[in-house]
A and B are shown apart, each in its own frame.
Chain A
Amino acid sequence: MTDRKEWPLWEVFIRSQHGLAHRHVGSLHAPDAEMAIKNARDVYTRRNEGVSIWVVKASDIAASSPGEKGPLFDPANSKVYRHPTFYEIPEELGHM
């Protein structure tokens, strides 16, 4: 039964109605990009979930590895001054 090459895996991204960015929704197998988009429509937008579809071959995605989590993301922990709540604004000034 496995007398053929397996179709490549495509990751599917959908933009919903309200102008938000495309969001990853899942993946599927298809022989080419055109078929991947057609299949994605049937598999991931049966209930009006989207207005636009992106597909990208899973093998073309470069991802950070779980082991790099510390060096990549820890440095942001100590930079609380990047958040507006770090600064105290006098109440009489009102909203800023």
Chain B
Amino acid sequence: MYAQMVKTGVDRIQSSEEMSPEERAFQERIDADIKIEPKEWMPEAYRKTLIRQISQHAHSEIIGMQPEGNWITRAPTLERKAILLAKVQDEAGHGLYLYCAAETLGVSRDELMEQLNSGKAKYSSIFNYPTLTWADIGAIGWLVDGAAIMNQVPLQRCSYGPYSRAMIRICKEESFHQRQGYDIMMKLARGTPEQKQMAQDALNRWWWPSLMMFGPSDADSVHSAQSMKWKIKINSNDELRQKFVDQTVPQAEYLGLTVPDPDLRWNAERGHYDFGAVDWEEFYQVIAGNGPCNRQRLRTRVKAYEEGRWVREAAEAYAAKKAARAQAKAA
């Protein structure tokens, strides 16, 4: 997902008897679906886990602009270019909503930026894959945003007020992203044989990385169990992945494209698709920094930050000059 394998710092789940009165009251509020707001008391582990989760999510939105930004100048029509520009601008906006939500937990924007630019912070594995053809822009909207929506819709109900409100805003805007992606895929799938082949090639390359977005099975993970108890994670990784496969396979069939998984078949008994094993070794390599584009993504990010420095400094100097003038006038 946009936040993957978020650690909670706990090694087991506390029972109600072991909790302090404050912790117990806190858990009871969460159980009663009462939102937790910034200034209220919260366990330190809850606060830290949320900062990790929300900032990872924000960093993913910011880095996520790069694979798509790659095609803004090469979009096939002016309309497609305008749409892609709007989508990438939305990703920046989503990053900003989320940074604000993270800041309400007591971390500063500069700290978050520094964590991202120094390579210390994680972001989603998916954005370390290259966008080789225009069809990749279609596949990203359809599959990557599709997978993101699957996770973000339930997070609208998460226990932390500012995160929940950011998710509500993001979900409202995200559905355009998936539709524009599928629209690109439809156009290609109905085009010349070469165009259809391009769409198939994009599906081949993005299918497995999209399934990896949900993260490895967390059925036995104490971190996931704790996060679910806190209601900052709503569904298990396997649950969401299955839901994504069930939703996406018919969409691929409609396009006349083949999902690159020989083990994929409908299981009438389960009422779900069975699918093949994900290559988790590849996933661990990508999150360890060895994906196809990790270094390039970080380099581009730092370059943008450095090249924007004079703009930030000019804006600060201008604000300081204006404030000084206003003060002189008042005196």
Q: Which residues of A contact B (CB under 8 A)?
A: 1-2, 4-7, 9, 26-32, 35, 42-43, 46-47, 63, 65-66
* CB nearest neighbor in A for B315: A31
Whether the Cβ atoms of A31 and B37 lie closer than 8 Å is no
Taking CB as reference atom, which chain A residue is nearest B313?
A: A4
Minimum CB–CB distance from B39 to chain A (whole Å) comes to: 5
* B319 contact from A27, A35, A47, A65, Cβ within 8 A: A35
A66 and B114 contact, CB distance less than 8 A: no
Whether A1 pairs with B97 at a CB distance below 8 angstroms is: no
A6, A27, A43, A47: the one within 8 Å of B110 (CB): A6
Contact pick for A1, options B113, B318, B319, CB 8 Å: B113
Q: Between A and B, how many residue pairs show CB distances below 8 Å?
A: 59
Cβ-defined contact, A35 with B93, below 8 A: no
- Dominant secondary structure at the A interface: loop
Residue B261 at the chain A interface, CB threshold 8 Å: no
In the complex, the answer to whether A32 meets B319 with C-beta atoms within 8 Å is yes
Pair A9/B96 contact, Cβ less than 8 Å: no
Q: Using a CB-CB cutoff of 8 Å, which residues 204-223 of chain B contact chain A?
A: none
Bound Cα distance from A15 to B158, whole angstroms: 27
A59 → chain B closest CB, angstroms: 13
In the complex, 16 of the A-B residue pairs with CB atoms within 8 angstroms, ordered by the A residue number, are A1-B110, A1-B113, A1-B114, A2-B111, A4-B312, A6-B110, A27-B100, A31-B315, A31-B316, A42-B89, A43-B97, A46-B86, A46-B89, A46-B90, A47-B173, A63-B39
Which residues of chain A are near B113, meaning CB under 8 Å?
1
In B279-331, the 8 Å CB interface with A consists of 305, 312-313, 315-316, 318-319, 322-323
Contact status A66-B103, CB under 8 Å: no
Known contacts A1-B114, A1-B118, A9-B103, A32 near B97 by CB under 8 Å: no
**Apart from the given pairs A1-B114, A5-B316, A63-B39, 4 other A-B contacts in the complex at a CB distance below 8 Å:** A2-B111, A7-B109, A43-B97, A46-B173
Indicate if the CB atoms of A46 and B93 lie closer than 8 Å: yes
Q: For B97, what are the chain A residues with a Cβ–Cβ distance below 8 Å?
A: 26, 43
Query: Which residues of chain B in 30-55 are interfacial with respect to chain A, using CB atoms and an 8 Å cutoff?
Result: 37, 39-41
For residue A29, which residues in chain B have a CB less than 8 angstroms away from its CB?
Answer: 109
What's the least CB distance linking A2 to chain B, in Å?
5
Q: Which residues of B contact A32 (CB under 8 A)?
A: 315, 318-319, 322-323
Residues in A neighbouring B133, C-beta threshold 8 A: none
